[in-house]
A and B are shown apart, each in its own frame.
Chain A
Amino acid sequence: GQQLNQSPQSMFIQEGEDVSMNCTSSSIFNTWLWYKQDPGEGPVLLIALYKAGELTSNGRLTAQFGITRKDSFLNISASIPSDVGIYFCAGQLPGANNLFFGTGTRLTVIP
């Protein structure tokens, strides 16, 4: 299957700090998505991106669809304790219906 490399693997930050994480692929995707998963729950969609170069915001979250279509970035500004969780990138190949997920970035916010 497709390999999505997500980094960093984990992050420990102070409340109020900004966070950046990224995801790269060896293949071109036509859709990039970012999900957040809390313990014991399913992933929740945060942001969906459909065009190369697209920059989309959802509150304090901003994500970008890389120009090469092989990468995506997620930024969280002014982190708060409820941002704690695992963030997954996911990509969809052209013509495919399923998603390939990254390995996740575990975010810990220290109050």
Chain B
Amino acid sequence: DAGVTQSPTHLIKTRGQQVTLRCSPISGHKSVSWYQQVLGQGPQFIFQYYEKEERGRGNFPDRFSARQFPNYSSELNVNALLLGDSALYLCASSQFLGGNTGELFFGEGSRLTVL
């Protein structure tokens, strides 16, 4: 079975531009979460979606937005890019929302560089 897939794997943008990152969860998983991992740090929570609804939001500005589609895939959008947005963006899927939701399965990430 395919794991979590993310695209693109690498991209370079300039300040002020917008970026869209895509994620397909593991088949049968209905929840998708997005995390930002700055070099040398642990991942930080951005969003969680379950059944196409936002179920959690981390401490990120409104420039960050996301959505989940009927097939449970998801997009993360970042507007007005800043240099500090340079990071590895990780998508994770889980089967359920409640209960033992800590078991997240991560994709390989999209590495964004903002120049």
A binding-site residues for B, Cβ under 8 Å: 1, 4, 6, 31, 33, 35, 40-45, 48, 50, 88, 90, 92, 96-104
Given the known A-B contacts A31-B100, A104-B42, are A98 and B58 also in contact in the complex, defined by CB atoms under 8 Å? yes
| B48 touching A98, Cβ below 8 Å | yes
**Min CB gap B90→A, angstroms:** 5
> What residues of B have a CB within 8 angstroms of the CB of A6 in the complex?
42
Partner of B97, one of A43, A97, A102, A104: A97
Complex contact A1–B103 (CB within 8 A): no
Shortest distance from the beta carbon of B25 to any chain A beta carbon, whole Å = 13
* Contact, CB under 8 Å: B103 / A101: no
Query: What is the CB-to-nearest-CB distance from B50 to chain A, in angstroms, rounded to a whole number?
Result: 8
Contact partners of A100 in chain B: CB under 8 A: 45
B interface residue count range (under 10 / 10 to 19 / 20 to 34 / 35 or more): 20 to 34
Instruction: Let me know if A90 and B106 touch, CB within 8 A.
Output: no
B91 to chain A, nearest CB (A): 8
| Shortest distance between the CB of B43 and any CB in chain A (Å) | 5
Q: Do B58 and A102 touch (CB < 8 A)?
A: no
Kindly list the 3 A-B residue pairs having the minimum CB-CB distance in the complex, ordered from nearest: A101-B42, A42-B106, A31-B102
Please state if A1 and B59 are interface contacts (CB–CB under 8 Å).
yes
